[in-house]
Amino acid sequence: MSAQFASTLEVGTSLKNHTGSWRTERPVYVDRLPPCNNACPAGENTQGWLYQAEEGNYRAAWEEIMENNPFPAIMGRACYHPCESSCNRASLDSAVNIHAVERFLGDRAIEMKWSAKTPASKSGKRVLVVGAGPSGLSAAYHLARFGHDVTIVEAGPAIGGMMRFGIPAYRLPRNVIDAEVKRILDLGVKVRLNEKVEDIPAMMGSEGFDACFVAIGAHLAKRVNIPAPDAGRILDAIGLLRDLESEVPTAPQIGRRVIVYGGGNTALDVARSVKRLGQEAIIVYRRTREKMPAHDFEVQEALEEGVQFHWLRTVTHMTGESITVEKMALDKDGYPQPTGEFETIEGDALVLAVGQNVDTHVLDSIPGVEHDKDGVVKVNPSMMTGHPGVFAGGDMVPSERTITVAIGHGKKAARNIDAYLRGTEYVPSPKHALATAERLNTWYYSDADKQVQPMLDDLRRRNTFDEVVGGLDESNALFEARRCMSCGNCFECDNCFGVCPDNAVIKLGPGNRFQFNYDYCKGCGVCAAECPCGAIEMVAEEI
């Protein structure tokens, strides 16, 4: 640092509270919360890792993701990316393809065999995790990095939970799950499969666990009362998807024509899987396409693959190889109402995809544990149940049931369990104000179309479980990362430095941003007006 630069900096710093009669407002640098970060259920610093990615620092970008989420390659495929729905770039052209860049980083980490950071020391504490799904694995990852010994006990035959048994391989290849799970196990996390926990306090006492996180997924199918002489022809969606989870998927006894009752993503997963087994698939849903809870892009992909849809229909009964449905009509408020008109659809099997419940009986007998009216477990803000040391998350607690939410629960629970074990309290950092689109100067950003991911040809998709959506390569992943507008946070573009008519902006060096010398600043506000990302705010002078 030159003597002149240091002198200027010292003057600007020492007189930062100086006011002058010529100025009614002064500019201040601020940090705002990017909407992508705010919308991420896993709590990723999305803007932070996009910044590293656009600089070509892929390892640093991946490590930034791994601070909050151990599954970037999985989430780049299976997350429904609410970050993109909130992206301010959509007001200019289209949202940044965030999940595609995350997938690129996750796949690169697998290819390069990058490892997660190990803890500096061991705490000597032991934590039991019940359930090897996304929430339990996330908690185990973070707890291991805190230095605790973690054992996961899983009732099923494999690790992954709904990532493995609820999402078909054409959406989430199993080698990707295996690679990201292995990275967690490499931290020393132990897993015991095919073991069902019956008494948590007893196991904690006999095996010396200091805390427990319960994260059992929603594997129990909800039932609806549909009269059928042959009940064996009525299957549940999760059970069918679980049956398909094998090294070489083979068709269970579902017949030639399968009717799927439901309108969510699970219904689509079943129907698209059935098509890949060479069967006909028909989805029956009581509302319209616009009201389906399934994501529209999945509906479109299913249509491309030959899945048929019967909207505004509800199943009334099944007889032999025919299913009777009643036509529905929308009332003035847009809700479906029965019409009394019926029709018959030929079908060999009826698959119910009307939602799932969680088996919470393992917590029922634990003193202090309470349940909500819909059966899920009550937890406090630290995700601890009413029994000290027993925490719960994922599908077991009131929340949206997605993999990303479950991963976020695992992280939050781990932070609170770590504090509990150390006799402290975890206090999250306060959030900045949201960086909204109107604060941006989008004229500084040239139009740049979102990079489109390649897709498997729809004819090939009908008879293979190969992955449907491909990934970005390095060139278009880098381009996509650079579409980020750094909403609300200075990225050192030098605009304020260049436009200031009073030479009142001091450059502090790469990575250190800028500072105002208020001795020179007249409060004209040009810097704030010209800041591309809305990171300068004009505040009233204190007279």
Name the pLDDT band for 252 (thresholds 50, 70, 90). low
DSSP helix/strand/coil, 390: strand
Q: Which amino acid is at 25?
A: E
Name the pLDDT band for 19 (thresholds 50, 70, 90). very low
Q: What percent of the chain has pLDDT over 70?
A: 93
Weakest-pLDDT range from 2-16, 114-128, 375-389: 2-16
pLDDT of residue 15: 40
pLDDT of residue 396: 83
Q: Which residues lie closer than 8 Å to 334 by C-beta, 6 or more apart?
A: 291
What torsion do the CA atoms of 392, 398, 403, 405 make, to the nearest 10 degrees?
-90
Instruction: Look at residue 520 and tell me whether its pLDDT is greater than 80.
Output: yes
DSSP helix/strand/coil, 377: strand
Name the pLDDT band for 228 (thresholds 50, 70, 90). low
Instruction: Look at residue 218 and tell me whether its pLDDT is greater than 90.
Output: no
For residues 65-86, average pLDDT: 96
Q: What distance separates the 2 farthest-apart alpha carbons in the chain?
A: 91
* Tokens (6 digits) for 436: 């909204």
Q: Residue 26 and residue 514: Cα distance in Å, rounded?
A: 15
pLDDT of residue 115: 95
pLDDT of residue 319: 83
| Summary mean pLDDT of the chain | 89
Question: β-strand 356-357 against 349-352: which pairing, if any?
Answer: unpaired
For residues 451-479, average pLDDT: 91
DSSP track, 124-148: --EEEEE--SHHHHHHHHHHHHTT-
Domains and CATH numbers, the chain: 3-31+490-540 (3.30.70.20), 38-114+442-481 (1.10.1060.10), 126-219+358-422 (3.50.50.60), 222-354 (3.50.50.60)
Q: Residue 65 and residue 114: Cα distance in Å, rounded?
A: 13
Instruction: Look at residue 18 and tell me whether its pLDDT is greater than 80.
Output: no
pLDDT of residue 13: 39
Neighbours of 355 (CB within 10 A): 18
pLDDT of residue 248: 46
Q: Residue 309 and residue 313: Cα distance in Å, rounded?
A: 10
pLDDT of residue 417: 98
Q: Residue 230 and residue 487: Cα distance in Å, rounded?
A: 58
| Cα-Cα end-to-end distance for the chain | 34
Residue 95 or residue 8, greater confidence: 95
For residues 187-199, average pLDDT: 95
Weakest-pLDDT range from 257-261, 440-444, 537-541: 440-444
pLDDT of residue 16: 44
For residues 192-219, average pLDDT: 93
Whole-model pTM above 0.85? Answer: yes
Q: Which residue, 340, 289, 296, 332, is CA-closest to 312?
A: 289
| CA 81 to chain CA centroid, nearest Å | 6
For residues 334-361, average pLDDT: 88
Q: Which amino acid is at 352?
A: L
Cα distances from 180 to residues 139, 165, 248, 449, 455, in angstroms, run: 14, 16, 22, 31, 23
Q: Residue 444 and residue 43: Cα distance in Å, rounded?
A: 29
Please state the φ and ψ torsions of residue 269, each to the nearest 5 degrees. Answer: -60, -40
Q: Which residue, 250, 255, 316, is CA-closest to 280?
A: 255
* Tokens (6 digits) for 471: 């990934």
Q: Are 234 and 259 in contact (CB under 8 A)?
A: no
Sheet of 336-346, strand order: 313-319, 322-330, 336-346
